[in-house]
Amino acid sequence: MEPREVLEFAKKNKTVMIDLKFMDFPGLWQHFSVPLHELDEDAFEAGFGFDGSSIRGWQPIHASDMLVVPDPDTAVMDPFMAVPTLSLICNIVDPITKERYSRDPRNIAQKAEAYLKYTGVGDTAYFGPEAEFFIFDDVRFAYGANRSFHQIDSVEAWWNTARDESPNLGYKLRYKEGYFPVPPSDSQQDIRTEVVMIMESLGIVVEAQHHEVATAGQGEIDMRFSPLVKMADNLMWFKYILKNVAKRHCMTVTFMPKPLYEDNGSGMHTHISLWKGDKPLFAGDKYAGLSQEALWAAGGILKHAPGLCALCNPTTNSYKRLVPGFEAPVNLAYSSRNRSAAIRIPMYSPSPKTKRLEYRTPDPSCNGYLAFSAILMAALDGIEKKMDPGEPLDKDIYALSPEELANVPSTPGDLSEALKALEQDQEFLLKGDVFTQDAIDMWLEYKKEKELDPMRSRPHPYEFALYFDC
């Protein structure tokens, strides 16, 4: 839409408030609202002021004034506000220089799309994330100097088979048996469908929704692929809608990769393909129907995967999912159909238009703008430098001998290792000024000071079981 069309759209929908949404650095939406009379065509250039020092990972207190500038193409009616409210996703601008802010994740994603066109390799990068999640009935957690605990609950969880539920009907999902059961065992079908209906009302096309493998309400809703920035916008809407629909039902949602012990975690398998005009660049006559460019792109992603983990698996909890020996894709190899490899080539359709790489390592705790941009930059680096991805891993990873397995590199063992990898491997991100040095340095600093250091200094509850009697 043009600014004029946004104002007409607002009037048509009897808008009372304008909600201005933007992304903080770690990956959560922030917002503030203004009455409709504050929005005019000039606001789409002049923006609205706010305190950037109060946003995680952003400005220091002595340079805190920032602007949010609404993107007119993102205008939709917010489906959850009590009064008619027009939602606009915003870009962040420095009020003095009028330049886009280097730590605005959406700015980084837009620069990644521009860099793709600059290289001449292609003009569109399509992304399709499969973001898994848990819908719980209750969550409680606390940490103090002398105690810590967390407790989650779900009516369909296997641990509740003996609970007095007046009556307990017994339809509980056994551990690791949550994939595709019908209701009543799948107790959240209608909730997921409600999410799908709201997403589609906002123009987000959904391909499927289903229960996932774990007990206790693990699910997945798959969006149809879109260009990088648009898909990152859609991912934020997806999280927002899912959390608010769950709240309507007195339930809660988490995108934590590993909230449960001894059951599957939540990943975000991310499909990527590059196009030039109407030509799919990843289709060809090489392995699994891929082009040479696609194999080089896979080589770039695999080479940079340890550093990518700092952005695609950015929490300490991420590495409780990425554990060798289980189903998580920790093996830095590629394969057709083999889901234990970090990159899978889906073989559902022979059409060249469907040919893509599925990077299976990321998880939904990531900031989509940063993660998708980093994956694209790694793929482009692979194409530019013609990186050989090596031989495909078509064997059963669990049947490999220790000697064979030793030749397959794996993802970092924890967030600290991933951040070290990013420190040592970041040149590919800096190309085209897509990620600035300032942005990367702040990411590393924030993760170390706000997440790693606090975790290191706190005793873990299980340590008492291991060591209290030492």
The C-alpha atoms of residue 199 and residue 220 are separated, in whole angstroms, by 14
- Reduced to 3 states, what is the DSSP secondary structure of residue 302? helix
Q: How far apart are CA 191 and CA 156, in angstroms?
A: 14
Q: Is there a catalytic annotation at residue 360? A: yes
Residue 304 annotated in active site: no
What pLDDT, on a 0 to 100 scale, did the predictor assign at position 45? 95
Does 285 qualify as catalytic in the annotation?
Answer: no
Q: Is 57 left (phi over 0), alpha (psi -120 to 50) or beta?
A: left
Whether 51 is catalytic: yes
CA dihedral 337, 341, 344, 347 (to 10 degrees): 0
The one-character DSSP state at 448 is I
Give rounded-to-5 percent helix, strand, coil for the chain.
Answer: 40, 25, 40
- CA-to-CA distance for 73 and 3, rounded, in angstroms? 9
pLDDT in tens, the chain (470 residues): 999 999 999 999 999 999 999 999 999 999 999 999 999 999 999 999 998 888 888 876 666 789 999 999 999 999 999 999 999 999 999 998 999 999 999 999 999 999 999 999 999 999 999 999 999 999 999 999 999 999 999 999 999 999 999 999 999 999 999 999 999 999 999 999 999 999 999 999 999 999 999 999 999 999 999 999 999 999 999 999 999 999 999 999 999 999 999 999 999 999 999 999 999 999 999 999 999 999 999 999 999 999 999 999 999 999 999 987 667 889 999 998 777 789 999 888 788 899 999 999 999 999 999 999 999 999 999 999 999 999 998 877 767 777 777 788 999 999 999 999 999 999 999 999 999 999 999 999 999 999 999 999 999 999 999 999 99
Global pTM value? 0.96
Within 13 A of 283's CA, how many CA atoms are on the CB side? 13
> Is residue 463 annotated as part of the catalytic site, yes or no?
no
3: DSSP letter = H
* Cis ω before 184 (30° cut-off from 0): yes
Q: Verify whether residue 358 is a known catalytic residue.
A: yes
Is 417 labeled as catalytic in the residue annotation?
Answer: no
Which pLDDT score is estimated for 148?
Answer: 94
User: Which residue is catalytic, options 71, 104, 186, 220?
Assistant: 220
Q: What is the pLDDT of residue 120?
A: 97
Q: Is 456 a catalytic site residue?
A: no
Selected catalytic residue, list 192, 211, 321, 360: 360
Integer CA distances (angstroms), 258 to 117, 158, 315, in order: 37, 17, 10
Alpha helices in 227-353 (DSSP H): 228-248, 292-312
